[in-house]
Chains A and B, each alone.
Chain A
Amino acid sequence: MHREHRFARRSMSDVIDGELSPRQAIRFARHVDDCPRCGRMLRGLIRMRIVLSSIGQSQPPGPSIVPSVLERLRSEDCGHARACGTREVR
């Protein structure tokens, strides 16, 4: 039991990422079915990951960074030998 518990704890990230082999997945599922603590831990990690993902899908507030990057690029470019001779093609 302790061995299976340790295996389950070690495997939590791989489970979330879908990176366990089929055999390992069966082993993990067997343990979690019998271990409420690991079941709760898994559900907590999954919920946590869903919220983290939603943070990533949201747009950062404020204006786009694009104009300031282009401005910096153009201003530095003028002092850069390569860029001043750049051929611009659309």
Chain B
Amino acid sequence: MSGEARQQELDDVLVGRARAGDRVAFERLVEIHADRLFSVVRRLVDDRHDAEEVTQEAFLRAWRSISSFKGDSQFFTWLYRIGVNEANRRTARRRAPGALTSLDDTHVEPVDGRPGPARKAEHDELRRALERAIQALKPEYRGPLVLRDVEGLSTAQAAEILGLGEAAFKSRLHRARLAVRNDILEYLPETDEP
């Protein structure tokens, strides 16, 4: 059984117990999923404090409505949808120009394993440029890019979390990728005009 299948099986067991009122089982789900949800939310809202509150609120809502979770989708998909909706609400309330998510404090290793400060500097420069480009995206485009390209979810999972049909999701993702690419052209030496 793959790691993903084992995780799914464990989630199913814990969700079943949580639906029966077992808070300890739900707390185990928190331990499994909270940090990853936080990293997603962190990229969708304005600052770390907001991201913490959104993540807390998402789990609180999930716990209070766990009995309505029917298992039609994976638990994490359902949970992320709650988190993304909460993040969108928070962003809509607080959003101000230039006050979008920063990824500056996210540590990233170089893309490939080649050592050397020059390679790392080049990678870090591109990463910072990407961070700025993501910050500049409108929320409706940022969500698809973060879920699909940063978090690595499938198209179907990401579309479901955002409440979009796959065609609409793909369209937004394509636009987001092109917009980000246009913003970082100078850091892609092999790339020319849009």
Determine chain A's interface SS by DSSP, over half rule.
helix
Cβ B150 vs Cβ A82 within 8 A: no
Could you mark each residue 162-182 of chain B with 1 if its beta carbon is under 8 Å from any beta carbon of chain A, else 0? 000000001001100110110
Min CB–CB distance B174 → chain A (angstroms): 4
**How many pairs, one residue from A and one from B, have CB atoms within 8 Å of each other in the complex?**
146
Cβ B181 vs Cβ A44 within 8 A: yes
Cβ A13 vs Cβ B177 within 8 A: yes
Min CB–CB distance A80 → chain B (angstroms): 7
Determine chain B's interface SS by DSSP, over half rule.
helix
Cβ B38 vs Cβ A65 within 8 A: yes
List A contacts of B103 (CB < 8 A): 55
CB of B184 within 8 Å of the partner chain: yes
Number of interface residues of B (CB under 8 A): 57
Contact residue among B24, B42, B180, B188 (Cβ-Cβ distance under 8 Å from A60): B42
List A contacts of B52 (CB < 8 A): 65, 68
Cβ A86 vs Cβ B150 within 8 A: no
CA distance A90 to B131 in the complex (A): 42
CA distance A72 to B56 in the complex (A): 7
CB of A29 within 8 Å of the partner chain: no
Measured CB to CB, the residues of B under 8 A from A are 17, 21-27, 30-31, 34-35, 38-39, 42, 48, 52, 55-56, 59-60, 63-64, 103, 105-111, 123, 126-127, 130-131, 145, 148-152, 155, 170, 173-174, 177-178, 180-181, 184-185, 188, 190-193
